[in-house]
Structure 1
């Protein structure tokens, strides 16, 4: 039987080609993902291994810098890391050297005033020369290190990008106004963050402290142990010198390296998981192709298998022979997929390197687990997909050797299938409805479980759905294509199981694509409405790095020519009913010109009277309304009573409580300044926009956005995310196309006699081609239509679980895009039918008629 299975594989290698290709693509995706992730992770580990090579213990100040998290007054400490602390630690018995480190966000502008690099990776630090006047951590490639205020040094790559040379004037900025400095040196460094694309600006220590922290303050202290002193022993000595409390964090070099390694592993692991999910989708689509292929092969070999049974082969032997065929195909395709996956991994690495030249790279990592997983997964998917066809093959009676042709499914088996599918689909839809009705995250698990069950149920019911759905387009096909159209419709519904298995592959892809598209449109619409309805200002001014704005910037923007009204948005918090609630503070006099909350009770003008506005969610939770009073705790630990002057609809653009800035400042002397809202005398004109930029000294970190800019920026994010998802789903769609080609090609072989008879009674080659093409288009559109409907329904259910998180979220169906998806599915059907249609039209009439 093994020899028989091997001969069958070799005899039908052409018909099994698409199946093997589907398995190969799926395993290649898996192997490529694992190779790329392992290679990138290893390269990053090797690069970042130098980060703490000269650090035995690092002391960090959690409250240092603009990025420090705010603490309540009772938790604040006046202690800080300064020069005295550095000297104390340096004098410890186990310390060889202690270095005070200043670090913080520092942006560098190019000659056009634009930010060099990304805002999140722009760093600044202090240059610490030794007795020779040099800092060993930053060897100079040109010039010297900064020695006084107004001087800076840049890393070599940043200087190159900006076109700067020693002696040039460079504009830099932190969270305050931009300043000009003279470039005194260009340095090199093995800092992995810099080599990965971050910009690094060095100042002398005093200037760095003033620019990034406060005079005399360090953000951390790096300590190196003496030979023979362990890191843990030095850590104990250092901790003994620090004040009690959690403001200062101490870690050994080993702990820092382990944390970094863990972060890299988690980051690459998350990426690997996401990619493997899409690889699994491709393999899942392949299951339908494999099962369909073996089902058709067995139908075509009914007489052959019956003869085997007649000459003594047992049912078990017939089953095993089919599974051995699947095993051989799976093993061959998996090995080929593994090889292709290594190529994909190398290609992905080259692509990332081309897009991000600073990304760490290294030799390809092909771990043993990658080889095992790729081969085992490919074989398992292939063999398991062939189990049901193999069982059907074993049930062929020996008497069937006297006949030929497909053995149709009995009405009983179809009835049982439809009952099971209906029950599963109904259960899944019920779970989805329950989850969507919750309106919050509690419904996500029922929706996810229900979606899985509904998909399985729909797949089981596809044969039942195929007949009525395809029948709807029958008259249209007959009208447009005449006899070939009628034949195409009849062929599409002749074997519902086959049609369903072929269409299911496209259904999966279109379900996911449609759901993502509807979710993107729905969330984008909610954000657009929030910006349009809540923001009355012409401009929103923020820091590109997302940090707080300095009071100096607020003053500069408010005084800019063309600014009619402006207000900083102060962010603080209150404790209401023992829970923290975020607060937005606005200037009470200009509030009505800048913000337009949708009021459901009271008036926004009460801010001038010291009253507050609360959103509908807080009002409902705490049973508040206009005129109510509520007891609160302030950030300075004092308590008080506030009067609610109005209630507004919850908005994503505004916090749950709105207060006047003057009231916020009474209880929080250092509130965060998130952004500044500006109303222009001439509206959102480019003149006013430039005036605001000029007022900040053309600060490269300042973003001045109109409402349309904010919409466009969010739209770009949504579009980028969708395009990435579409790209990852492209592999599964490609596998689905292979399934259509495979089914049509095998169907043509199966219907040789029928095609020969059609040719004999007058249907020309063009008619045969149209028949096969239309059959392919009908099957593709059937699968796509079911997928689009399912996707829209799934997106509606997911939106139901997001209503509490995204105010004003409603399901938006972009009908234009849905029609495009259907049109593309039809095009896929046409493309997939090119080869099978051509093959069918070229069949010899007499040879086809006498086919047995």
Structure 2
């Protein structure tokens, strides 16, 4: 072992504490990657095991070829054809189709299926369905529907959606099924029941038992028509695994992207750490060079140091990631045992090797630049005080110029993305402009620190002024310290502002499409029933809509339709009054769907005949209200002098519990003949909850990057305290108290954190606006929405993070006696 290598290892042993902070950053990033790989591997492995068990008894699988909507199933007679093929011993035919169900919890989509005999779900309550008007529900579906054994569920059957009722006779457990156990709302019934409830008469899959898998598959392919797709069970298993785990693969990619962000932030922290350490050891390095060590030996020594740090902390990160994944798998099995197949922890080799490799590469690459820079300094120059790269140096001017160019190019791409509503230029512009901001940081960050410090540090007197000077003393170091936090805060702000703006835009679109929160339709709603609907907790306003049935003649056709007249106070009930089309006295208003179904267009003349009279009206296409064709109230009275209340529009209070309120409305509606409940409240809530959940998940994942950045601030401050030991001692000797020293370091940390947060919030809001405009600009012109509570929480978090980051360094600095520090070399 060479003397230089021995010296490197000795240095690592004696200075190991200084690598704890960057090591923690590596551990967090590597653990993130390891946990992601273990989780995706576990999900895929468990799914493959489940799928293999599902197809184990069979030799071949027959399904419809292609995705043609006109022929989504195999013909009914194909079962007999399959049974007669040589080598086939028996078949299990599956019939299943999607439909809508009216349940106690509202409208729900559901997969209605016969299931398969070899994977029959276990009955946990009641019994299996035996007749076409009986159904069994999975435990997850029963919970979603709000249904119990003995309840009735109404299904929309066939193309016309005619209602068909079925009784719930049992609850079954499908958690271990590879498809039905994925959380999909699933309803089991007989083959005739599937036809009655959905209108489907063919078969969607035929599972075939036979002898040799390959021979049976070949025989079926030769015997069956071209519109039937025949696959071996091995091929069918691979295809099903691919389809079922498609979401898992996407999840893995997304989690890996967040892990990459965490590692990028870690790289910034590590680069900063090595830069400070190497600058502090410049005299030591110069002495080694003076006594005969070559530049190559010095570089190799530092890189070996980085390699050891990367290996050790990456190994710890992998162990932490496996532990985290194990805990998540256990929690998932406990929480979702009724919804998904049981997961068995699987740690593939790549979950160990790739994270370690990523961690080592990140550490070595992050250390490479400061190592090479320090090795270029001549021994005699290194024995003098270090001259850091500044904006006035040649390298500094080049970095700033490059940053300005990237900002201009990125800004142009962002503007193009917003104008053309294209995402790709926006992504490119975001990367270029952010890289530019990082490059000009050595100029921008000190300027912002002085600007903010001139106000924020003033109340702290001399300690505040010293904190500002210390924070900007080394511009490159200040920029590097805030860069780590800048990455995390920019992404957090972008996500928060983007989600708030997207939520506003989607709400605007939903309010236009579903202008009414809840619509209750019935054959004849009485005043007492209307009052009970209005009295449901959570209902803030109501409007009774009068309707009548008329005969419409026009475009060569006659048809009976329901027409309605909107009451005078309708604008107080709808979410978006501008979306309501009020017909003139010579108009009838239809929605686009109603006009298409009737085969008429805007401007057509129709004759409307009612019980009392008739009217010649012009068709206008506008916003339908879900209560029929719209006419003016005076026209309705001309057509029928005693119309009935055919619908009641309800507006919910802004703070209403939507599900509970709709459930209360549905309970009242059961007393109304022919009642149906619809509206946009639950649609709006579903979109809002989805965005809120996505936002919470993304922010939680980005929080890891912010934590790493805070570790970086604390690390930089700790190393700076060590560098400034004699300076701090001199200040103490001149009268600076321990409290003032602590305040000085706290203000310094908070200034760096606040500047990184302010800059990140501005960049994040800008990127969010461009992103939302590029994605949704063609559909809505919703303005930028700034979630002030969340942004202020980020700001408050930055102040707290800065204070916490300064605690240990300040304590260490304050405990050193001035005389001892001045005596230190």
1:393 to 374, 394, 397: 374
Hey, what's the Cα distance between the residues in 1 that align with 2:710 and 2:60? Answer: 58
Which residue number corresponds to residue 259 of structure 1? 239
Q: Is the 8 A contact 1:424 1:457 kept in 2?
A: yes
Hey, what's the Cα distance between the residues in 1 that align with 2:323 and 2:79? Answer: 52
Taking structure 1 as reference, are residues 491 and 126 closer, same or farther at Cα in structure 2, changes over 3 Å only? closer
Q: Is the 8 A contact 2:501 2:786 kept in 1?
A: yes
Is the counterpart of residue 320 in structure 1 residue 300 in structure 2?
Answer: yes
Which residue number corresponds to residue 832 of structure 1? 805
Which residue number corresponds to residue 377 of structure 1? 358
Hey, what's the Cα distance between the residues in 1 that align with 2:128 and 2:701? Answer: 47
Hey, what's the Cα distance between the residues in 2 that align with 1:488 and 1:185? Answer: 67
Which residue number corresponds to residue 268 of structure 2? 288
Instruction: Name which of structure 1's ranges 423-432 and 446-455 shifts more when overlaid on structure 2.
Output: 423-432
Hey, what's the Cα distance between the residues in 1 that align with 2:284 and 2:524? Answer: 86
SS at match of 1:482: helix
1:86 to 73, 79, 86: 79
Taking structure 1 as reference, are residues 529 and 840 closer, same or farther at Cα in structure 2, changes over 3 Å only? same
Which residue number corresponds to residue 671 of structure 1? none
Which residue number corresponds to residue 734 of structure 2? 761
Hey, what's the Cα distance between the residues in 1 that align with 2:220 and 2:584? Answer: 55
Which residue number corresponds to residue 462 of structure 1? 441
Hey, what's the Cα distance between the residues in 2 that align with 1:688 and 1:37? Answer: 38
Taking structure 1 as reference, are residues 411 and 419 closer, same or farther at Cα in structure 2, changes over 3 Å only? same
Q: Is the 8 A contact 1:518 1:795 kept in 2?
A: yes
- Post-superposition offset of 1:264: 3.6
Hey, what's the Cα distance between the residues in 1 that align with 2:752 and 2:412? Answer: 29
- Post-superposition offset of 1:57: 4.5
Hey, what's the Cα distance between the residues in 2 that align with 1:95 and 1:353? Answer: 39
Q: Deviations over 1:332-385 (max 9, x none)?
A: 111111111211221221232233124334443222222221111111111111
Taking structure 1 as reference, are residues 645 and 728 closer, same or farther at Cα in structure 2, changes over 3 Å only? same
Which residue number corresponds to residue 211 of structure 1? 197
Which residue number corresponds to residue 114 of structure 2? 125
Hey, what's the Cα distance between the residues in 2 that align with 1:769 and 1:688? Answer: 57
Taking structure 1 as reference, are residues 696 and 85 closer, same or farther at Cα in structure 2, changes over 3 Å only? farther
Q: Is the 8 A contact 2:399 2:439 kept in 1?
A: yes
Is the counterpart of residue 495 in structure 1 residue 474 in structure 2?
Answer: yes
SS at match of 1:175: strand
Hey, what's the Cα distance between the residues in 1 that align with 2:743 and 2:514? Answer: 57
Taking structure 1 as reference, are residues 54 and 799 closer, same or farther at Cα in structure 2, changes over 3 Å only? same
Taking structure 1 as reference, are residues 614 and 28 closer, same or farther at Cα in structure 2, changes over 3 Å only? same
Q: Deviations over 1:720-756 (max 9, x none)?
A: 1110100110111111011011001001000000110
- Post-superposition offset of 1:842: 0.7
SS at match of 1:746: helix
Q: Is the 8 A contact 2:282 2:383 kept in 1?
A: no
Taking structure 1 as reference, are residues 605 and 759 closer, same or farther at Cα in structure 2, changes over 3 Å only? farther
* 1:176-187 paired onto structure 2 within 5 Å: 177=163, 179=165, 181=167, 183=169
* 1:130-169 paired onto structure 2 within 5 Å: 137=120, 145-148=128-131, 151-152=134-135, 169=150
Q: Is the 8 A contact 2:177 2:341 kept in 1?
A: no
TM-score, reference length from structure 2: 0.79
Q: Deviations over 1:823-843 (max 9, x none)?
A: 211111111111111111111
Taking structure 1 as reference, are residues 265 and 535 closer, same or farther at Cα in structure 2, changes over 3 Å only? closer
1:239 to 219, 224, 229: 224
SS at match of 1:280: helix
TM-score, reference length from structure 1: 0.77
Q: Deviations over 1:603-657 (max 9, x none)?
A: 7888738897999xxxxxxxxx99799xxxxxxxxxxxxx997788xx9x999xx
Hey, what's the Cα distance between the residues in 2 that align with 1:564 and 1:269? Answer: 50
Taking structure 1 as reference, are residues 588 and 51 closer, same or farther at Cα in structure 2, changes over 3 Å only? farther
Which residue number corresponds to residue 211 of structure 2? 227
- Post-superposition offset of 1:587: 6.5
Taking structure 1 as reference, are residues 654 and 264 closer, same or farther at Cα in structure 2, changes over 3 Å only? farther
Taking structure 1 as reference, are residues 370 and 702 closer, same or farther at Cα in structure 2, changes over 3 Å only? farther
* 1:38-53 paired onto structure 2 within 5 Å: 38-53=41-56
Hey, what's the Cα distance between the residues in 2 that align with 1:314 and 1:384? Answer: 21
Is the counterpart of residue 807 in structure 1 residue 806 in structure 2?
Answer: no
1:4 to 4, 7, 22: 7
Instruction: Name which of structure 1's ranges 486-495 and 468-477 shifts more when overlaid on structure 2.
Output: 468-477
- Post-superposition offset of 1:690: 4.6
Taking structure 1 as reference, are residues 654 and 3 closer, same or farther at Cα in structure 2, changes over 3 Å only? farther
Structure 2 gaps of 5+ residues are: 158-162, 531-542, 548-560, 596-600, 606-616, 632-644, 654-659
Which residue number corresponds to residue 277 of structure 2? 297
* 1:686-705 paired onto structure 2 within 5 Å: 690=664, 692=666, 695=669, 704-705=678-679
* 1:546-565 paired onto structure 2 within 5 Å: 561-562=529-530, 564-565=544-545
Hey, what's the Cα distance between the residues in 2 that align with 1:193 and 1:47? Answer: 9
Q: Is the 8 A contact 1:534 1:595 kept in 2?
A: no
Q: Is the 8 A contact 1:334 1:379 kept in 2?
A: yes
Aligned residues: 749
Which residue number corresponds to residue 505 of structure 2? 526
- Post-superposition offset of 1:220: 3.4
Q: Is the 8 A contact 1:18 1:738 kept in 2?
A: yes
Which residue number corresponds to residue 609 of structure 2? none
Which residue number corresponds to residue 429 of structure 1? 411
- Post-superposition offset of 1:401: 6.0
Hey, what's the Cα distance between the residues in 1 that align with 2:32 and 2:175? Answer: 37
Hey, what's the Cα distance between the residues in 1 that align with 2:268 and 2:166? Answer: 65
Hey, what's the Cα distance between the residues in 2 that align with 1:136 and 1:837? Answer: 65
Q: Deviations over 1:59-80 (max 9, x none)?
A: 55699xxxx9864xxxx79x97
* 1:606-625 paired onto structure 2 within 5 Å: 608=588
Q: Deviations over 1:92-145 (max 9, x none)?
A: 3343223443334589999xx458xx95666443798xxxxxx98467788765
Taking structure 1 as reference, are residues 660 and 482 closer, same or farther at Cα in structure 2, changes over 3 Å only? same
Taking structure 1 as reference, are residues 285 and 429 closer, same or farther at Cα in structure 2, changes over 3 Å only? same
Q: Is the 8 A contact 2:268 2:483 kept in 1?
A: yes
Is the counterpart of residue 24 in structure 1 residue 31 in structure 2?
Answer: no
Hey, what's the Cα distance between the residues in 1 that align with 2:493 and 2:84? Answer: 66
Hey, what's the Cα distance between the residues in 2 that align with 1:611 and 1:96? Answer: 55
Hey, what's the Cα distance between the residues in 1 that align with 2:508 and 2:471? Answer: 45
- Post-superposition offset of 1:809: 3.0
Hey, what's the Cα distance between the residues in 2 that align with 1:41 and 1:684? Answer: 43
Hey, what's the Cα distance between the residues in 1 that align with 2:282 and 2:347? Answer: 44
1:537 to 510, 516, 530: 516
Q: Is the 8 A contact 1:58 1:220 kept in 2?
A: no
Taking structure 1 as reference, are residues 460 and 628 closer, same or farther at Cα in structure 2, changes over 3 Å only? farther
Instruction: Name which of structure 1's ranges 96-105 and 253-262 shifts more when overlaid on structure 2.
Output: 96-105
Taking structure 1 as reference, are residues 249 and 557 closer, same or farther at Cα in structure 2, changes over 3 Å only? farther
Hey, what's the Cα distance between the residues in 2 that align with 1:382 and 1:739? Answer: 14
Q: Deviations over 1:401-441 (max 9, x none)?
A: 65456656463332222112211222211221222221x23
Is the counterpart of residue 192 in structure 1 residue 178 in structure 2?
Answer: yes
Hey, what's the Cα distance between the residues in 1 that align with 2:524 and 2:472? Answer: 70
2:463 to 481, 484, 499: 484
- Post-superposition offset of 1:31: 1.0
Alignment root-mean-square deviation, CA:
4.5
- Post-superposition offset of 1:317: 1.8
SS at match of 1:763: coil
Hey, what's the Cα distance between the residues in 2 that align with 1:723 and 1:283? Answer: 21
Q: Is the 8 A contact 1:36 1:345 kept in 2?
A: yes
